[in-house]
Amino acid sequence: MESRRTYAVINLRNYAGNLRFFEDHCTPSKVMPVVKANAYGHGAIPLSKVAERMGIDYFAVAFLEEALQLRNHGINSDILVFNYVAPDLIHIAYENNITLTLYSWEQLSKYSKQASKPKCHVKIDTGMKRLGVQPDEASEFIQKARSSGFEIEGAYTHFAVADSLDEEDVEFTKEQFEQFARLDLDVKIKHVCNSGSALSKIVNCFDYVRIGIASYGLQPSNMLQSSEIKPVLEWKSTVSSVKTITPGDTVSYGRTFRAFTEMKIAAIPVGYADGYWRQLSNKGYVLIHGERCPIVGRVCMDQFMVDVTHLDDVKLGDEVVLIGRQGDNSISAEEIANLVDTINYEVTCRISERVPRKYEGMEL
């Protein structure tokens, strides 16, 4: 049963179009879609099925559980896990043909004691200072891993500021690239570019580009943007109530909004339990009848209120757009991110599981 109180619409055609854009833009590099965190809130399984049908042969996720979810739903392409996997679980990766990341001597030592030796990529730390072996140790590390029985298929690094066009940041990205590029690594696959560096093409992308945020039509940053990519997600709801309030009336918890004139207030059955931002209280907007309607009062767990005084004939069941387009107006994930001082990644990742995803544009 679906109450239709709120739902996210995922446009599969736009997703496929974004991947095709990067296939063309980054030729001869191949595209490795990053579908971790449930494809940044968009739905990893449906989107991976679309991508695999397009011919995508490698996916990337953060954790082993995410890779297993793809395998259990019929994804047969290679899958790279970026993050930590407990040593006593690496046999599961081996049994399911899942590629792991080796990134430290301590990790290699613990993995080497296990009977199963899954296929691996080696991560090299060129400046992120998160995971990765040092560049001057990379060749020795790969040799040691191979002698321990691992198939070392690839090597990669990760850029810290590739979404910035600031001169100093561009130079840092180039320095990271040069540290990696000058290594004489005996591996089949090399990959360094994320969405930002793939768009800007300020460095060579090697064999694959790891496209995450931009594959969903979200901009890598306020500084680095492309009109070629199309948003994949819209978030919609419905008007659940309309009432008139009088001067002096206050709205929602904490009485943070007070009416100074007669107003029409519409309730929207979405709240922070759905992943909508409480920080949008008294400063966010939604679209109703194609017009912007400001949030009044605090966003609650399951609903919030908006001012619809300027609209005619707002009624129960009218469509509300939280993210997306309605008429000539739109609200983007980037706009919400700017209002709450975060990034668009977090806006879509926060949309909770109780918000149904509806897939449109292509057959699954």
What single DSSP character describes residue 124? Answer: B
Query: In CATH, what class is 233-360?
Result: mainly beta
Taking only the tens place, the pLDDT of each residue in 145-155 is 999 999 999 99
Name residue 118's amino acid. P
Confirm whether 36 is a catalytic residue. Answer: yes
Q: Percentage of residues in the chain with pLDDT exceeding 70?
A: 99
Name residue 214's amino acid. A
The predicted model scores a pTM of: 0.94
Distance CA 311, CA 327 (A): 14
Residue 25 has phi, psi (to 5 degrees) of: -65, -35
**Per the residue annotation, which of 188, 201, 243, 253 is the catalytic one?**
253
Distance CA 95, CA 203 (A): 36
Q: In 88-137, where does DSSP find H-type helix?
A: 90-95, 105-112
Cα–Cα distances in Å, from 99 out to 130, 197, 226? Answer: 20, 24, 31
DSSP reduced 3-state for 336: helix
E-assigned strands of 63-142?
78-81, 100-102, 120-123
Q: Where in the chain is the domain with CATH 3.20.20.10?
A: 12-216
**Per the residue annotation, which of 36, 49, 117, 123 is the catalytic one?**
36
* Lowest pLDDT segment from 10-24, 49-63, 212-226, 317-331: 212-226
Topology adopted by domain 12-216: TIM Barrel (3.20.20)
Q: Where in the chain is the domain with CATH 2.40.37.10?
A: 233-360
Distance CA 17, CA 196 (A): 18
Taking only the tens place, the pLDDT of each residue in 271-297 is 999 999 999 999 999 999 999 999 999
Confirm whether 216 is a catalytic residue. Answer: no
**Mean pLDDT of the 220-228 span:** 88
Six-digit token string for 8: 């996210």
- How large is the angle between the packed helices 105-112 and 138-147, nearest 10 degrees? 0
Q: What's the pLDDT at 363?
A: 75
Q: Is the pLDDT of residue 1 over 60?
A: no
Strand partners, 330: 325
